Amino acid sequence: MQGKVSFQEDAMPVVYAGVDVSKEWLDVHLHPLGESRRFSNDKTGIGQLKRLLARYRPERIVMEATGKFHRPAHRSLWHDGFAVAVIDPLRARMFARACGYLAKTDRLDARFLALLAESLRPPADAPPSPHIEALQELVNARSAAKGDLAAQQNRSKTATTAFLRSELNRLVRKLEQHIDRLDKEIERYVGKDPQLRRKAEILTSIPGIGRVTALALMAGMDELGSCSGKQAAMLAGLAPIANDSGARTGRRSIRAGGPAPRRALYMAALSACRYNPALARFAETLKAAGKPAKVVLVAIMRKLLVLANCLLSQDRLWAPNPP
């Protein structure tokens, strides 16, 4: 016998899974096996999905962020030891278009999520804690109610019919009571959790950041305090994005990121320009250098965010003269 040659014909290839999530369904594609399946987006369907994935143990599972619809599957898969990455739906769509596909179906989306998992290897994301999810729900409900309140108040001001004005004013009062109840529930919820209470205490110690901004940051940027300042700025959409080509140096701009934290920081920056001495001096320096007002405000927003991230990572309150 001249020697042995070992053929591993039955060896399992490295498998990547894409899961397209909708309200009713979970469409999964296994690459490179080419297998596609559909399960209901409920406890039974998630169990069936896990049994399928357990047979192949994919290297990475990728799904899109779809509001609340992806959360039960994400949490269940993560708790069973699967590496799950949750990505921006826009990123997945741009990847499919880069591959030359314009068509969009649930099955195709699952396939391209699996291809994206193999090509880009996005890092796995741990699901947020139940406490953060509950806070997000309450804060988002308050934000929506404030938007409804502003809309009804504007309609009431322009209404010419006495009956309509009366009805709109009644809606306004109900919304004000609803917001008041939400505020009390949010305060109760934050007060009973030591970690959330400490976060709120640190954030509100910064001149310019009030309770509403602190809650928006806590709910919209759970990563705050565990990432770098540059990463925090990118997550909030406050990092200047380069736009250069050849000899041309384009104008920097901000985009993407979380809109809710960014809106809250805008109002905080207006306050900080008046009541935070260090940031007020920084703003005057930028104005003296000829920077436009909006550029100055964005710079203040970024400074506030980086400061908040630093204080949370060090678990200390703001002080005029830091240690």
Mapping DSSP to helix (H, G, I), strand (E, B) and coil, where does residue 184 land?
helix
Mean pLDDT of 229-248: 77
How many other C-beta atoms are found inside a 10 Å radius of the C-beta of residue 7?
6
Cα–Cα dist 188/42, whole Å: 31
Residue with more model confidence, 323 or 248: 248
Mean pLDDT of 260-265: 85
Which pLDDT value is given to residue 322?
Answer: 65
Which pLDDT value is given to residue 291?
Answer: 84
Mapping DSSP to helix (H, G, I), strand (E, B) and coil, where does residue 63 land?
strand
Could you report the per-residue pLDDT of 172-197, keeping only the tens digit for each?
999 999 999 999 999 898 888 888 88
Cα–Cα dist 48/35, whole Å: 15
Cα–Cα dist 191/198, whole Å: 9
Cα 288 from chain centre: 35
**Which of 45-54, 111-120, 254-263, 287-296 shows the lowest per-residue confidence on average (mean pLDDT)?**
254-263
Mean pLDDT of 305-321: 84
List alpha helices for 193-292, DSSP H: 194-204, 211-220, 229-235, 259-275, 277-288
Could you report the per-residue pLDDT of 280-306, keeping only the tens digit for each?
888 888 888 888 888 888 888 888 888
Strand partners, 86: 63
Amino acid found at 298: V
Give 256's pLDDT tier (boundaries 50, 70, 90).
confident
**DSSP characters over 82-114:** --EEEE-HHHHHHHHHHTT-----HHHHHHHHH
Which pLDDT value is given to residue 229?
Answer: 77
Which pLDDT value is given to residue 6?
Answer: 47
Q: Which of 133, 92, 90 has its CA nearest to residue 109?
A: 92
Which pLDDT value is given to residue 19?
Answer: 92
Which pLDDT value is given to residue 268?
Answer: 86
Which pLDDT value is given to residue 7?
Answer: 43
Which pLDDT value is given to residue 5?
Answer: 45
Share of the chain above pLDDT 90, in %: 19
Say whether pLDDT at 11 is over 80. Answer: no
Task: Report CA-CA distances (Å) from 79 to 36, 57, 74, 91, 127.
Answer: 23, 14, 9, 26, 9
**Which of 84-93, 137-146, 147-156, 313-322 shows the lowest per-residue confidence on average (mean pLDDT)?**
313-322
Give 45's pLDDT tier (boundaries 50, 70, 90).
very high
Residue 207 · residue 219 · CB < 8 Å: no
**272 contact partners, CB below 8 Å, separation of at least 6:** 207, 208, 209, 279, 280, 300, 304
Cα–Cα dist 300/270, whole Å: 9
**Which of 64-68, 75-79, 165-169 shows the lowest per-residue confidence on average (mean pLDDT)?**
64-68
